[in-house]
Amino acid sequence: MNTNSNTYTIVYATVVVIIVAVLLALVSQVLGPRQQANVRLDQQKQILGALKQDISNCADPAALYDSLIKDTIDVNGHPVFVAEIEGDPKFVLKLKGAGLWGGIGGYLALDKDKNTIYGANFNHESETPGLGALIVELPFRQQFEGKHIRNAEGEIVSVAVLKAGTTAEGQEQVDALSGATITSTGVSDMLRTNLSEYADFLNVKSCCGKCCKKQAEGCCQAQEGCAENAEQPECAQPTDTQIVNE
C-alpha cells in the first residue's frame, strides 16, 4: 500500500486522532470522581491547616473537617467556612491572588471578632521551591497568627507583608521572605483585595439569639418558623457572637 498517498494520510490522521480522543475521554471519565475527591480533600486539608489543625498524623482529615466545619456562607460568590473550635466560632475566608510564576491562594481563619487572625494557610501553583514556595511553610504562616486586619478605627486595612526594617502606616505587618519579593508582595496584595471583597461579611456584626438567621447579608433576620412576636435578636457587639446552629 502506498503510505504516502493523500487519502491514506488523511484517513490515518483521522483514525489516530479518534483513537486518542476516545482513550483520553474514557480515562478522564473513569478517573474523574477520584480526582474531584482529591481536589475536595486537598481543600479540606488546607482549611484545616488555616485552623491550625495538625493533620500530618490524622488518619481521616475529611472526618475531622466534618466535625469542625459547621456551615458555609456565601458572600457575593466568595465562601466563608464557619468552624467551631473549642466552642468558639472561627471564620475561614478563601483567598486568591497572583505570585511570581502563577497563581497563589490560601485560607485565612479569623476569630469571632472578625479582626484577629487565628491562622493562615497558603498554597501556590508554581512559585520557586526554596524561595517563593516557602509561603506554604509554618514559619511564614505562623507570623500571621494574632495579627489584626483592622486599624484602630475599625477599618479593614489587612496585614502587610514587608521587608524587615520597613514599617507600614496604620496596619500591622509580617516579615516578607528574603529572595521572594514578588511572591511576598503577592501575598500582601492578595490579603488586601480579598479582604475588601469580604467587606460585606466582615462589616456585619455577628448575630446572637436563638431565633435568627445566620448572618449572610444583613444582620439578625428572623428565621422562618419563628413566632411573629418572638423576641427579635439584636445586633450584639462582636464579642458576644454566637453561631446559631439550630
Partner 1 sequence: MALSQKTKETLLGPLNANNPVVVQVLGICSALAVTVQLKPALVMGVAVTIIVAMSNVIISLLRNTIPMRIRIIVQLVVVAALVTLVSEVLKAFAYDVAMQLSVYIGLIITNCILMGRLEAFAMTNKPWDSFLDGLGNGLGYAWILIAVAFVRELFGAGTLLGFRIIPESWYVANGGFYENCGMMMMPAMALILVGCIIWAHRSLNKEEK
What is the C-alpha separation between 90 and 111, in angstroms, rounded? 5
Place of cell 428572623: 222
> How far, in Å, are 12, 92, 212 from residue 6 at the CA level?
10, 61, 73
Q: Which of 3, 56, 229, 239 binds partner 1 (CB under 8 A)?
A: 3
How many other C-beta atoms can be found within 10 angstroms of the C-beta atom of residue 150?
19
By CB under 8 A, what part of segment 95-154 binds partner 1?
102, 125-126, 128-131
Q: Which own/partner contact pairs does 65-69 have at CB distance under 8 Å and 24+ positions apart?
A: none
Q: Which of 14, 27, 76, 142 binds partner 1 (CB under 8 A)?
A: 27
CB 127 to partner 1: min, Å: 10
Q: Which of 17, 63, 138, 199 binds partner 1 (CB under 8 A)?
A: 17
Instruction: Give the x-and-dash track for 33-72 against partner 1 (CB under 8 A).
Output: -xx--xx-xx------------------------------
CB 122 to partner 1: min, Å: 13
Q: Which of 14, 24, 166, 196 binds partner 1 (CB under 8 A)?
A: 24
* Strand residues in 125-210 grouped as ranges (E): 160-162, 173-175
